[in-house]
Amino acid sequence: MLAVVKDKQAPGVTLKDVSQPRPARDEVLVKVKAASICGTDIGIYDWTPWAEGHITPPTIIGHEVVGEIIEVNSDEKHEFKKGDIVSSETHIFCNHCYQCRINNRHVCENMELFGIGRDGGFAEYATIPLRTTWKNDPSIPLKAMSAQEPLGNAVHVVTKANVPGKTVCVFGLGPTGLCAVAAAKAYGAKKVIGINRGEYRRDLGLNMGADEVYEKLPASLVGKCDAVLEMSGNADVLAQALEAVRIAGTMVFFGIPKKEANIDVGRYMINKELHIESVFGRRLWETWYQVSDLLATKKIDLAQIVTHEFPLSEFEEAMAVMKSGKSGKILLTP
């Protein structure tokens, strides 16, 4: 089968013909219907320090996946059968560690990452552990199903920011930031402001319901935002984000900066007495239920965010568009 393989410790990937995987015990084999490119995949492609620390080539990449179950290999009691359309949760938890036991499985101490620490779904077939397989609500459009994982990140961020009635500022309007705009609106924010350097994604921000968008934080908004969602992962805008949040406001960090960030902790954090939160992944499975509900009730339409589709064989072209900043979510179809 065709697969996108990170096969060397250097920038780039290779499209390869590899053998079809077999499901191990308590795994499902899926025929991939669609997979979407994530910011993390850009990091893997470019071989950032984060990627270097998390991937041991060769690995089939791609973690935002929807597929049809071809085979279930398990004697355990489970809800899955052949033909089910399922998505994959990226954070493969161990179910035994302290975090798993206290219902924080998304930050498991022994976490394995689908499509990063083990083979993923930029391929014709993929295997997913049963415990991180999500059965989709069939009323949700197929195109939205693979993007539930990033929407889940955004929903988790927005729920931590407790947005109803608040002025919310979203820094970074990449696909997850765009999802955060939509989720903040859906959950009753009074006003949602988007900040993004590129115009293309500012326009997408307006499509997703942002009330105002700016290239950078205007002086009029300094200290005026009740909640600031840092989705850019740009170390150079963190200070701007911390300028935006009001005294005793809420700051949620999500984007992972490519380099160490210098922050004036006294000025921005202690003097302002902020509520500081961070998000790494989706709560299992609360966030997935919230996401499914937002999509099934059409409170969020991901069709606005999915701007491009490519066959898997044109992965390089898709990655080039993704890196240009002139796209929303990009779907790949094997």
Sites of contact with Zn ion (CB under 5 A): 38, 93-94, 97, 100, 108, 110
- Nearest one of 45, 79, 85 to 65, comparing CA atoms: 85
Buried-state track 141-153, b at ≥16 Cβ within 10 A, e below 16: eebbbbbbbbbbb
| H or E, element range at 51 | helix 49-54
Between 28 and 116, name the residue whose CB sits nearer to Zn ion.
Answer: 116
Question: Chain centroid to CA 130: how far?
Answer: 20
Between 230 and 243, name the residue whose CB sits nearer to Zn ion.
Answer: 230
Instruction: Provide the β-strand partners of residue 129.
Output: 27
Minimum CB separation of residue 235 from Zn ion in Å reads 20
Between 40 and 127, name the residue whose CB sits nearer to Zn ion.
Answer: 40
Query: Rounded to whole angstroms, how far apart are CA atoms 294 and 331?
Result: 20
Minimum CB separation of residue 296 from Zn ion in Å reads 21
Between 79 and 98, name the residue whose CB sits nearer to Zn ion.
Answer: 98
Minimum CB separation of residue 199 from Zn ion in Å reads 24
Q: Is the peptide bond before 285 cis (omega within 30 degrees of 0)?
A: yes
Between 43 and 249, name the residue whose CB sits nearer to Zn ion.
Answer: 43
Minimum CB separation of residue 245 from Zn ion in Å reads 26
Closest residue to Zn ion, judged by C-beta, is 38
Minimum CB separation of residue 25 from Zn ion in Å reads 19
Buried-state track 186-204, b at ≥16 Cβ within 10 A, e below 16: bbebebbbbbbeeeebbeb
